[in-house]
Structure 1
Amino acid sequence: MMAGHGEGAVGGPARHIPVMLSEVIENLHPTSGETIIDGTFGAGGYTRAILEAADCNVVAIDRDPRAIAGGEALAEEFPDKLKLTLGRFAEMEQIAEALDIEAVNGIVLDLGVSSMQLDEAERGFSFMQDGPLDMRMGASGPTAAEIVNERPEKEIADILFQLGEERRSRAIAKAIVAARAEAPIERTGQLADLVEKVLGRKRDEAKHPATRTFQALRLYLNAELAELAEGLSAAERLLAPGGRLVVVTFHSLEDRIAKRFFASRSKPEPKGSRHMPDSGERGPAPSFELPSRKPIGPSKQEIQGNPRSRSARLRAGIRTEAPAHRSDLAALGLPALATPA
């Protein structure tokens, strides 16, 4: 479970507070005897709440080895009830198969970067603390420093625009290329200062100018949007009828994918296209029923106690008996640069 996420590190160091915990448990509705997957274990806040709510079994997945190591005490507290697994939640079907699990009754995905990752300067996620420009959730793949120091200017600009929705992506990319010609950009502080010089900053501006740049690099390096799209389809196939899927997002790109997924799975699609009239035939039967088509946001009290929760949005669905739909990642609006080349 990820705790206290946000698009940046605004708000400073935060305790590992599970975002919208009561709303997640209400929609997940753990029941004794069930098996539930926590696809983003993090600091274990959701997993603990699930295990305390009912006599059920939890498979907790996280791609961060430190998160899995940190969960050992919780596993000892709930022997035979908690299975900790290092991996990506998009791989949940394979993980379940390895544990001889054919179907599950609930899945929760709490997306983004956790407070403990933001607050560890050496991980390189935050521009609020100077550290190595890393940003990897796992232990493999290129670092953010390699991207900004080695990729062509146009590619950097495209990453910032597509995954950070940064309107001045070209100006930032140009400044990055000019700066790295003088010396490598190896620290989070260097990159944050460079972006701030390009964009400027108003005194009363709450969000740091580098927020979108850091978001874009993190999403790109960790292929988070592709993982979300693949994970949603995997959850659809793995959930038993009546099973609940709960997704907590933290920015518009994530929420857009979750919204499109639930919308496409909750109503029959008309055959044909916009260029041809609807023949009256319908596509696949709905694989999810939605408690609400509108997302749930955090309460004012929660935002006051945990500022990083301010951008959180919760969407949920209940699995029907209909077969899973064909997986179509493009239909979910995945940006072209959703995964690192």
Structure 2
Amino acid sequence: MNGAAPAFPLAISLGDPAGIGPEIICASYDRLRREGAAAHPFFVVGGLEVLRAAAEMRGLDCPLVPIAEAHETEFAFHAGLPVLAGLDAPYTPGTPSAQGAQLALSSLQWATRQALDGEAAGLVTAPVAKAELAQVGFNHPGQTEYLADVCGVDPRDAVMMLAGPSLRTVPLTVHVALAEVPRLVSQDLILRKARIVAAGLQRDFGIERPRLAIAALNPHAGEGGKFGDEEARIIAPAIAALRTEGFDVTGPVPGDALFLPRARAGYDAALCMYHDQALIPLKALEFDEGVNVTLGLPIVRTSPDHGTAFDIAGRNVADPGAMLAAIRMAAAMAAARQRG
């Protein structure tokens, strides 16, 4: 792993040690090492013995280098995977525990602080189990909401974008019942999220004039009101307002046409009305390279777009592709911010 190293490394939170996080972190480092790629240095926050056991389980060539400070990463990275020492728990793949959840929470808190304090160029979060975290005092719906709170950002302005090599999607409503979506979709919601997405694409992806496509809510975009009037009453006026502000926006585009190859070539991100409208195409097309990006934060944050996968943890079958993609995307975003 050669090449000019940036001023600051990436921080990676461990995730739940009973999930696949530790093994795909080690597998990502091992793959970069074997490829001989010039990689942006990164360090893991806590879990030295967990990572050691996970690497051994997978038979990986992943030497671990304990460090005391983030600035030691650049030197240590050439010898092995740097691990900020001081936090640990037993490695019990597939069997979550309160001790493991506490390690996951402490790692997330410490890693976030590294990014906020400027010790890390960005943050990559491994998957956590929300139910397990709740048992150790974590009172946020998820990691994104926690990061918004710690960063002093209105939770509505921490926007989840799913990104892969050929597609970026943004769900305007996320973890709500489908029956609630028509009530929650508003012109204000579309305008607010679209502005944040456009700013994020400019700042973090270097896209000077982002092209946004906005999905319809109803089949055939409502077909003149036969299948619903949200397109005419809410979505189209929001698009018109965005165009007046100078944004390059198309829509409302029927959901069954929005993700065709020809359509995808015409936009940089698709804003979707509900969770599955955004996540199904991303996961169908790019599951092993899908990255969850949080736009609107003062820090860079990415995460692999999958969960803890307790059912396959410790079985040497978890694909590290999404974690590796999350690391690479965080590095690219940090570089874009540095240039901008």
Instruction: Check whether TM > 0.5.
Output: no
Larger relative contact order (Cα-Cα within 8 Å, sequence gap ≥ 6): 2
Normalising by structure 1, we get a TM-score of 0.33
